[in-house]
Amino acid sequence: MALASLPATSSEKYPVISVARKIAFETLRRVESEGAYATDVLHAELGSAISPADAALATELTLGVLRWRGLLDFLLERLLQKPVARLDLPVALALRLGLYQIRFLQRVPARAAVNESVDLVKFARKTSAASLVNAVLRKAAAEAAEPPERFLPAGMALSARLSILHSHPEWLIDRWLARFGEARTVALLEANNHAPRLSIALHDLNQRDAIARELTSAALQIESGLLLNSALSVKGGSVIRTAAFREGRISIQDEASQAIPFLLDVQPGDSVLDLCAAPGGKTPALAHAAGPKALVIAADLHGHRVQAMRTQFARLALENIQCVQLNAVEALPFASQFDRILVDAPCSGSGTLARHPEIRWRLRPEELNEFHGLQVRILANALAALVPGGRLVYSTCSLEPEENESVIAELLACDSKLQHVPPGELALSLQPHLAPSLAARSLFYDNGEFHTFPPETRTDGFFASVLHKNVTKYCEPCASI
């Protein structure tokens, strides 16, 4: 039974706990113990029975605790005199939730934050820890006006200091300092610790003004997209409860993610393969561009994700997409080649840490090389399915070179006839889709690789490389990777 469904009124069995805090507590528990993603759990929990105010607070508490977990644990461990990791999980979560409210939510009285955290551990049948939670959070409330810098040991290395104050793993900060420098790294850390813009994709640009009026009448605040003329930024309400969403006229999607399909420059009648398609956010733009009679295939490894895509495409009334379950690490099972292929590869997701803050605590350095090997194999198989003269886009939502530039360099070294599409050509195909004040060339490096950097573009961090294949048979060394 979900915590949100349990009573919020006093009873013999359950203490009085707000619905929002129950949902946040249960979501955090599932993130930690089951490896769930917070946004997926929240989407399931925050149905129409939950008030907008409770939904907003539950989301703030959940994602706020995940973003600031490193700093919260540092401050708690001063008072506990032992690692938070040694506590039972419900006790650790109650302490983090209480301290987050004390430190970051001035609208919540400290007394309420303390009392409800105590009630949460009782609710989780950890009554013996109630006095500990009460004592630690009362001490934390007493020193809440003190800046965290005051508690740092003297002489800390820059990366260690930033790791605590900005709540990111130190190994990741070390990497970013080496590549981006201190100023851009700090800007990235700050961007990751703020709620990202909520962007929507308009599936019919001709309806832009009508949809904007409709969303405004539904009490949503609307702004134009920062990157794309087919995007809007929204806040102040629930997009998924609007008629425009239910009827498939809009979808929720970050603007950098929305931009990726445009790089393929799909033309009417093109055959299109979206190779790692789930959850299906990029496929609709490809299908619209190819037209209703074109072959469009959306493929994914997992059957449940393929089924979820079918549900998504049904909502959007897209009937020209065939959903296929396959393992892209193996040779692809298609008898013919494709004019356009999108490989939105599985990756670390390090460009999405504002949206998915739990990733920063799960990712390990060695996984970057593991992703690299997986991505090279998938890309090699995709290139074998591309027609001579066709175009392929390889993209990730990662900032890490092992998953981006190094993957492309390995494939280019395998065959000198495989080339980047020139940035000027890419800019010409992308410019019509961009916001009026944005120059397409600003999104490309000199070699044509597409990059978005969260603090600068106010989007997720995406990489894309657009490749043009001039050979009829892909080289054997890469095909056998």
HEC string of 363-376 equals: CCHHHHHHHHHHHH
Is residue 34 exposed (0-12), middle (13-18) or buried (19+ Cβ within 10 Å)?
exposed
CA distances from 372 to 170, 336, 338, 410, 479 (A): 22, 27, 24, 10, 16
> What is the distance between the alpha carbons of residues 237 and 258, in angstroms, rounded to a whole number?
22
Tell me the one-letter amino acid at 170. E
Q: Which member of 276, 323, 347, 397 is catalytic?
A: 397
Coil, helix or strand at residue 341: strand
- In the DSSP assignment, the letter for residue 123 is H
Is 276 among the catalytic positions? no
DSSP string, 198-264: EEEEES-GGGHHHHHHHHHHTT-EEEE-SSBTTEEEEESS-GGGSHHHHTTSEEE--HHHHHGGGGG
> What is the distance between the alpha carbons of residues 180 and 112, in angstroms, rounded to a whole number?
42
The Cβ of residue 302 has, within 10 Å, a number of other Cβ atoms equal to: 11
Is residue 251 exposed (0-12), middle (13-18) or buried (19+ Cβ within 10 Å)?
buried
What residues act catalytically? 397
